[in-house]
Structure 1
Amino acid sequence: MPRRESPLPEGDGPVVRFAAGLRELRRAAGGPSYYELAARAHYSVATLSSAAAGRRLPSLEVTRGYVLACGGDVRRWEALWHTTAADLAAAARSTAHTPAPPADPVDSPYPGLASFGSGQSRFFFGRERVIEQLRGRLTQQRFIALFGASGAGKSSVLHAGLSPSLRGEGRIVLTLTPGARPLEELAVHLAAPASSTPGRLLEELRAHPGNLHLLLRQIATAQTGPAEVVLVVDQFEELFTLCTRPEERNHFIDALLAATRAHNSACRVVLGVRADFYAPCIAHAELARALDAAMVTLGAMDGEELHRAICRPAQAVGCRVEGRLLAYLIAQVQGSAGMLPLLSHALRETWRRRRGTVLTMEACRSAGCIEHALTHTAERFYQALSARQQDAARHLFLRLVAVGEDVKDTKRRITGSELSCDPDTAAVLERAAAARLITVDGRHVELTHEALITGWPRLGGWLEEDREVLRTRRQLTEAAATWAHLEQDPGALLRGTRLRAARPLAHAKDAGLTAREQAYLQASLAAHHAEAAAATRRRRVRRLLTAASAVLMVISLTACVLAVRAGRQVAAQRDEAVARNASTQATGLWHRSPGLAAQLALAAYRLRPGRHSRNALLSTLMSTWQAHRAEMYALATPPTPPAGPGGAGGPGGAGGPGGSILATAGRDRTVRLWDIHAARHPRQTAVLSGHRNAVYALAWRPHSPVLASAGADRAIILWDTTDPHHPRRLATLHPHTHTIRALAFSPSGQSLVSAGSDGDVVLWNTRSVTHPAPGARLPGHHDEVRSVAFSPDGRLLASAGGGDQRVILWDTTSPTHPIRRADWHPHTTTALSVAFSPRGALLATSGGGDRPVKLWRLTQPRHPVLLTALDGPTDVVGDVHFSPDARLLAAASDDRTARIWQVTSPRRPQEQLLLTGFTTAVLALRFTPDGQQLITGVFDGTTHTLPTHPDRLLPRACAHT
């Protein structure tokens, strides 16, 4: 039994009479169901049923299909269709200048996410200046383009502002959006004014772009008196997001330009273009020339314009906006061109919750304010659906989004043929339209506004989850439409890569495919299986033929295997050489172009992962900043806090600076403090400028915010860095007669040792950091002392003499009477640095010679035992430092490298990392207190940081490049 149709609309208009005739024709044919008519006419059930619904005149092609399916007289119905279309055109012309009746006062004067239409012009305020600018430009030019961000209100300006104004001047205004078939849209919108059929006009437009000029002249001359046609093309960016045929896109643009450039042109063209599609527009050479003098920019509204846009629509229906709400809305929206849809939506929701005739701040808050009103509306709509309807809603909204690759996601207009015919989809469609989330325009469905894409987190999450699937499904939709248009031609089926990409959709339980798409995919898979079966048969025949030459094939395969093996070896050697060469070039390039160097090193590492390419890549991934504009001599990080409670608070007690503070010093006479909490983006917090000459030494007092600095002015200054942004000087000491080159606090913080070019090592009592007391002087060195260090328990003090090549070990159990325990020459040329391991009696020394880094066991302090001499550096090593967990040892060398060894087993250290690419000598390095970063200071004033866990950094190398 055929389903019962809904009653025709009231009235006796030409469309209603035409629909009544179609229904009578169906009854005369025996009342076939619409499913039967769809099978005969090759149109969807929804298309055929809407043709006889009486709400709008169906297209001539749909009418022909309906009549043929019912066995009617096609010629008679074609004539009747043309008569009805002419009656509609005459009625439209007669009512073009008739003012619209006043709006029902209960209707909202705010359209929400939808743009203002021509019937809402009396509620459209705030863009008067732009409208006047457009009108002025149109009097001088025949081609203009309105550019604005998504959500800036371009459609509202064109439809509710410019178009009514032009119609009031007696001009003929035709508006359209390009869609996926721009020439078809042009033909459909010109058919009624030109008293022709869309099919005929489409053929003319495709024949030559200049025919658009003739059609528009025909429409203009049909009017009484001089007239012009203003063609408004809104959402011009759909040419690039929905139209997939470049030839049709270019044909459409050429037609518009030709119509405005003709010497006897009777039209003017206004484009509405999203600002981020300027680049695709100027890719068309002729359009780029036309846009040179045709652009009008739609920016953000100022405060006065926003005031009018918010208040005047309410005043038009006898209401007003509360002052607090007005101030809040203007503050939220001013300066942002893309928030107008969210503003309109929030006002519409506030209107629904208004108190009498006043739109209040409380009503706006209950709607979710401007930030959440859209989300609240969309979520309320979604949560009110059943589980099956929610699935249908997800598929529906994903179909209404064109997923961008190099551009942002945009909304997409679809026809009813893309939608499933199930009741759940129909219910979702009806509810979404009632909530103003989508717009249903005859056979077309689209999102009300693109603000929904970014303003509804759930939709954004769907898009991120299914982005690749959406692209595949979109390609499947377009291919299925082409297949149906070609009457299911087997040559249009999916094959190869496209079929492999679409195959998962055939087995997915909830792929959201329409019946046509499922039929197309199944037909493609069946064809693939048939081709695979044929290929299998061919392979069997080939195997039978191959059996006769098996011996020859075995010989050939053996030769091939040997050749392939040799080729692989050659390729591996080639890759190794190329990767090594590229890695070397990358480190050499790093200081001039870090980004390019990182990319080159990453390419080398991917080509041939190995120790050399890994070191080069990590060298280019170091974070770098200019700490000093002169040579940098020292850096210091706060020592690792010990287990257990510390001493008293204040500058002299516990609670030292956080582990994210770094101190650097250099020839510019300053000490600089840096916040390295974000290692890739350090921030300078303070510059300490108390020294009168270069600063060579820095030391943090354990468990305390006290920093000691010393240098060529022979002064030691103690600083309180409790507030790293405003340090203050605590004390100034003058213990030496020459440059001070080394400082170190004892682990307890109660002793400070200084040493310098005069060869003296001086102990200070720093229980009071504001009045340190001088202690014992430790004789023994005959030349400058370059480094001093305390053991973890504070009992031993080591000093390294750069000139006399000696390391002296002192027992400082009694700070007033130190005892010399050992005195030896660890290196052949010079001794520059000493460092104790945080765990155990292990001492690292560095200097010059063939093996400039050595590890010593100090179980018996009087007899240091050499455990190992580390290979690698080719020049003197000026600084060594252990990581807080004692697992790693880092060394800074004058050969412009920094190395890290794993010293878990001190007798068998293993080199873990070699950092290269520095332009000058690496003078100092330190691990951060948490051991997660290595910081290097270079002679050229730059500082570099690198995580000590490269395995965590390498997988994210792309992000660093």
Structure 2
Amino acid sequence: MTDDNPVNAHLNAYASGSAQVFQAARDQFVVDRDLHIYLHNGVRVTRRTVSAPADVECPYPGLAAFESEQAKWFFGRDRLVAELVGKVGHQLDEPGMQAVIAPSGAGKSSLLRAGLIPAVAQGALPVRGSAQWPQVYLTPTARPMPALANSLAALTRLPPEHVWRVLHARPAAAGALVATEMRRQSAAVPLVIVDQFEELFTMCANPAERVAFVDALTSLSPRGTTGPPAALVVFGIRADFYAAGFDLPSVRAALQDVPVLVPEMSESELRDAIVCPAQLEHLDFADDLVELLLRDLGTGCATDGYPAHRLPMLAYALRATWQTRHGHTLTVAGYRATGGIAGAIATAAQRTFTRLSSTEQDIARRMFLRLVRIGDEDVRRLLPTDELLAAFPGKQAHPVLAAFTANRLLTQRENTVEISHEALLRAWPTLRKWLDEDRAGNLVRQDIEDAATGWIRDKRSNSVLYRGNRLTAARDWAAQPNHGLSHTGHAFLAASVRQFKRGKRIRRATIALLVVLTVVASVVAGYALDKRDEAEFNEMVAASAELMKIDSTLAAQMYVAARHYGHSVHLDSALVTSQNAPLATVLFTNYGNNEQLGFSALAHSPTTDLVAATDTTTKLYLWSGPPGPPTVVPLGGQARREPGVLAERRPACRRPRRRDVPGMGHHEPGDSDTGREAGARGAGRPGGHGVRRAGTLSRHRRAGRQRPLVGLGRPGRTEPDQRRAGRCAGRHPHHGHQPGRRSPGVRRRRHRAPLGRVGSATRHPDRAAEAAGRRTRARPGVQPGRPGTRGRHHGR
């Protein structure tokens, strides 16, 4: 019978022999397509139900949210749907995004999918023709801008690549793009719904992309403008991400401007949500089952309300009870068999897990870990189905995914898969154990998987590979057994290691090349220094050999200095030769004595060490014995002030004649003017030219020259002018031998001692310096007065 009212029926039975006859204990009746029979044999009553074929659709979605196609089963939110429709319609006059805020599990997604979308499609907006306005529904995912571009491309019927280029270049151009296309096609104002808005913070790791996504949404319905917007924008966000939304100005304005809050359902709304879907499917509830459900949920006079996260548990418990129904009746026994509201999810998940093989259980563990984003608060994550399955070899993951999807623990939409509700993360102890047993390792695995996904998306670019400490930590973690890394993660990590080793080889080769270049440069520099020293050595030896003809003392010093640069047979021979050459010895210097005037003439005794000199102050200076201060003897007359030279002692080239100098005898008849000048006139008569007898050292003064040849003495150096003075004295035309040549047996002796200013060099230093500059020409690169310098007499 097909009548819904109970129909009385009578059963007559006959039996023969040992057969037993049962009598109906009470009236028999038929409900819809189920036949319920109660029989008793006088001892007990037996109930038997003959059910109709199980082609009835379950009106309870379980952990998943209601879809728009399931709107006929969506009860208990009529008032909230009407409020939301009114707020959305208000955007037509005052544009601005509309926010829907709700705690996790309160039914936010069901309100948008099964409440708002069907209501607008049924013409609930106060605009004629609004029932035909296009609608798009999306979630941000890890790449919010591509997701929005694809949705707007479907809305405007433009190529996704074109929409993506526009949004990528200028996100705020989304409003103009949609408005232009909508006006061209029709006068419709589309509805854009963004659910799971919190994914913008939990899944998108690029702050710039977050801002661009919000800018694009804001341009669709800009706040503060007049007239219909380009689109009606509604977004749903979890209440615990309310503070995160305040970091984005446009989102903050929407959150502050009268958002729609999803509160707990009242008891009457809960009854409607439980009973009304069953009545549409001709389902019946056993006695007291509805009260038991409400009590387990947490409603009643003794409580302030049920926890919001338990509403998905109620939906799943109802679905599990429907699966164990008795015909078309949901029974208390069937409800208790599911574990009730508190244990229905865990029972179903564990039952599904235990039916898998050991290999499939390991795949399930790795699969669920990839579907959870681990952080301060663990949340589910949406993954492309191909990406999730690619982490496992072959098709081993396909039956695992199908088993959990059939029990509504996982939800597949088009090409994506996710955990049906985050209540599973709290309700299934096994999953909680997987998440907590190696949380640090799971974080490393999650980072590697995310990086591997970006690596594949960027066409395996080397720029996103791990390096440095990050690679070291990832390799250490991957070395542990049972890490659960996917094949994509393995490939990414292997590519990172190869890149690291390649870079290491390049660095080693670079360092080796730099070392080789450094060694080569050092060798070349050393060779250049050796050649420079060799050139200086050869130059010094050549200069010493040339100077040996003129000044043996300076030549000997230069030979000694050259010995520090190198060795040669010629240099050793020259050193021996210079040791046998006559060297000059300085008897007295006038270093630092400003009162002592220059010497005008001097003479040397051929038989003793006595040396005499006169100056322009009518004084006679005598030296005898070792070098030291002279003995001063006053003389009569007035001498012309004339600069002098240093006193030196030389062996005589030939025996000189007597002088009118104390201790030197008298002049013999026939003496030349030279002897008399030095002994008599030269010491006290102006214009004297000094001693001209051979074997003495005199200051040489050429005719017409106003300044004498005076050197500016410095400690430890022999000045060019002093050497020139010695050379001039040795080449004087009155010596009796050829100019510039030494007589045999002559030995010059000089001692390197501190020399000072004498004569006009002390009293007129500027003139002395000018005279020295005119008379001395030094070799380029060699300072005058140093080894290697040859003083030359100008005008010679």
| TM-score using structure 1 length | 0.44
The residue that corresponds to 1:131 in the other structure is 81
The residue that corresponds to 2:465 in the other structure is 493
Cα offset for 1:342? 0.7
SS state of the match for residue 339, structure 1?
A: helix
The residue that corresponds to 1:307 in the other structure is 271
Cα offset for 1:234? 0.6
Q: Does 1:258 align with 2:230?
A: no
Q: How many residues align?
A: 443
* Higher fraction of strand: 1
Partner amino acid, structure 1, of 2:105: G
Cα offset for 1:218? 4.3
Q: What per-residue deviation string (whole Å, max 9, x for no partner) do you get for residues 479-500 of structure 1?
A: 2233334433333220112212
CA distance in 1, matches of 2:399, 2:325: 29
CA distance in 2, matches of 1:271, 1:462: 33
Q: Does 1:350 align with 2:321?
A: yes
CA distance in 2, matches of 1:332, 1:466: 34
CA distance in 2, matches of 1:273, 1:353: 35
CA distance in 2, matches of 1:312, 1:377: 25
Partner amino acid, structure 1, of 2:397: T
Cα offset for 1:114? 0.7
| Cα distance change on mapping 1:398 and 1:105 into 2, 3 Å | same
The residue that corresponds to 2:538 in the other structure is none
Unaligned 5+ residue runs, structure 2? 1-53, 124-130, 300-304, 523-796
CA distance in 2, matches of 1:472, 1:488: 20
Summarize the alignment of residues 854-869 of structure 1 with structure 2, pairs less than 5 Å apart: none
| Cα distance change on mapping 1:531 and 1:198 into 2, 3 Å | same
CA distance in 1, matches of 2:173, 2:463: 34
* Higher fraction of helix: 2
CA distance in 1, matches of 2:318, 2:395: 33
The residue that corresponds to 2:173 in the other structure is 211
8 Å CA contact 1:301–1:337 kept in 2: the answer is: no
SS state of the match for residue 272, structure 1?
A: strand
Summarize the alignment of residues 765-844 of structure 1 with structure 2, pairs less than 5 Å apart: none
Summarize the alignment of residues 537-936 of structure 1 with structure 2, pairs less than 5 Å apart: none
CA RMSD of aligned residues (A): 2.6
Choose the corresponding residue for 1:457, options 412, 425, 429.
Answer: 429
Partner amino acid, structure 2, of 1:152: A
Partner amino acid, structure 2, of 1:465: E
The residue that corresponds to 1:145 in the other structure is 99
Partner amino acid, structure 1, of 2:352: F
Choose the corresponding residue for 2:191, options 212, 230, 252.
Answer: 230
8 Å CA contact 2:105–2:310 kept in 1: the answer is: yes
Partner amino acid, structure 2, of 1:184: P
| Cα distance change on mapping 1:539 and 1:465 into 2, 3 Å | farther
| Cα distance change on mapping 1:363 and 1:248 into 2, 3 Å | same
Cα offset for 1:505? 4.4
CA distance in 1, matches of 2:231, 2:510: 64
SS state of the match for residue 197, structure 2?
A: coil
8 Å CA contact 2:139–2:197 kept in 1: the answer is: yes
SS state of the match for residue 162, structure 1?
A: helix
SS state of the match for residue 119, structure 1?
A: helix
| Cα distance change on mapping 1:348 and 1:249 into 2, 3 Å | same
Summarize the alignment of residues 244-283 of structure 1 with structure 2, pairs less than 5 Å apart: 244-261=205-222, 262-263=225-226, 264-283=228-247
| Cα distance change on mapping 1:270 and 1:236 into 2, 3 Å | same
Cα offset for 1:115? 0.5
Choose the corresponding residue for 1:409, options 379, 382, 385.
Answer: 379
Summarize the alignment of residues 4-19 of structure 1 with structure 2, pairs less than 5 Å apart: none
Q: Does 1:387 align with 2:337?
A: no
SS state of the match for residue 175, structure 1?
A: strand
8 Å CA contact 1:350–1:364 kept in 2: the answer is: yes
SS state of the match for residue 422, structure 1?
A: coil
CA distance in 2, matches of 1:168, 1:251: 33
Q: What per-residue deviation string (whole Å, max 9, x for no partner) do you get for residues 432-475 of structure 1?
A: 21121112223211111111111111111111123222222222
SS state of the match for residue 338, structure 1?
A: helix
CA distance in 2, matches of 1:188, 1:111: 28
Cα offset for 1:538? 7.3
Choose the corresponding residue for 1:468, options 440, 451, 465.
Answer: 440
Choose the corresponding residue for 1:525, options 486, 497, 506.
Answer: 497
| Cα distance change on mapping 1:337 and 1:108 into 2, 3 Å | same
Q: What per-residue deviation string (whole Å, max 9, x for no partner) do you get for residues 510-561 of structure 1?
A: 3333333212101211232344455567788999999xx9xxxxxxxxxxxx
Q: Does 1:513 align with 2:511?
A: no
Cα offset for 1:220? 3.9
| Cα distance change on mapping 1:306 and 1:222 into 2, 3 Å | farther
Partner amino acid, structure 2, of 1:113: L
Cα offset for 1:327? 1.1
Cα offset for 1:178? 0.9
Partner amino acid, structure 1, of 2:211: N
Q: What per-residue deviation string (whole Å, max 9, x for no partner) do you get for residues 744-765 of structure 1?
A: xxxxxxxxxxxxxxxxxxxxxx
Unaligned 5+ residue runs, structure 1? 1-103, 550-961
Q: Which region of structure 1 is more displaced relative to structure 2, 173-182 or 484-493?
A: 484-493
8 Å CA contact 2:67–2:114 kept in 1: the answer is: yes
8 Å CA contact 1:105–1:317 kept in 2: the answer is: no
CA distance in 2, matches of 1:192, 1:173: 10
The residue that corresponds to 1:46 in the other structure is none
8 Å CA contact 2:139–2:196 kept in 1: the answer is: yes
Partner amino acid, structure 1, of 2:98: I
Partner amino acid, structure 2, of 1:211: A
The residue that corresponds to 1:833 in the other structure is none
SS state of the match for residue 184, structure 1?
A: helix
Choose the corresponding residue for 1:318, options 259, 264, 282.
Answer: 282
Summarize the alignment of residues 178-189 of structure 1 with structure 2, pairs less than 5 Å apart: 178-189=140-151
CA distance in 1, matches of 2:193, 2:61: 21
8 Å CA contact 1:411–1:450 kept in 2: the answer is: no
Q: What per-residue deviation string (whole Å, max 9, x for no partner) do you get for residues 125-147 of structure 1?
A: 01111111111212223421111
CA distance in 2, matches of 1:218, 1:121: 33
Partner amino acid, structure 1, of 2:355: A
Which of 1 and 2 has higher RCO (CA within 8 Å, sep 6+)? 2
CA distance in 2, matches of 1:329, 1:253: 42
Q: What per-residue deviation string (whole Å, max 9, x for no partner) do you get for residues 827-857 of structure 1?
A: xxxxxxxxxxxxxxxxxxxxxxxxxxxxxxx
The residue that corresponds to 1:338 in the other structure is 309
The residue that corresponds to 1:158 in the other structure is 112
Partner amino acid, structure 1, of 2:461: D
Q: What per-residue deviation string (whole Å, max 9, x for no partner) do you get for residues 560-614 of structure 1?
A: xxxxxxxxxxxxxxxxxxxxxxxxxxxxxxxxxxxxxxxxxxxxxxxxxxxxxxx
| Cα distance change on mapping 1:265 and 1:145 into 2, 3 Å | same
SS state of the match for residue 288, structure 2?
A: helix
Choose the corresponding residue for 2:335, options 341, 345, 364.
Answer: 364
Partner amino acid, structure 1, of 2:142: A
CA distance in 2, matches of 1:375, 1:162: 32
Q: What per-residue deviation string (whole Å, max 9, x for no partner) do you get for residues 747-805 of structure 1?
A: xxxxxxxxxxxxxxxxxxxxxxxxxxxxxxxxxxxxxxxxxxxxxxxxxxxxxxxxxxx
Partner amino acid, structure 1, of 2:428: W
CA distance in 2, matches of 1:324, 1:204: 60
Choose the corresponding residue for 2:162, options 182, 200, 207.
Answer: 200
Percent sequence identity is 37
SS state of the match for residue 423, structure 1?
A: coil
CA distance in 1, matches of 2:345, 2:208: 39
CA distance in 2, matches of 1:266, 1:539: 61
Q: Does 1:116 align with 2:66?
A: yes
The residue that corresponds to 1:778 in the other structure is none
CA distance in 2, matches of 1:201, 1:342: 41
CA distance in 1, matches of 2:482, 2:446: 16
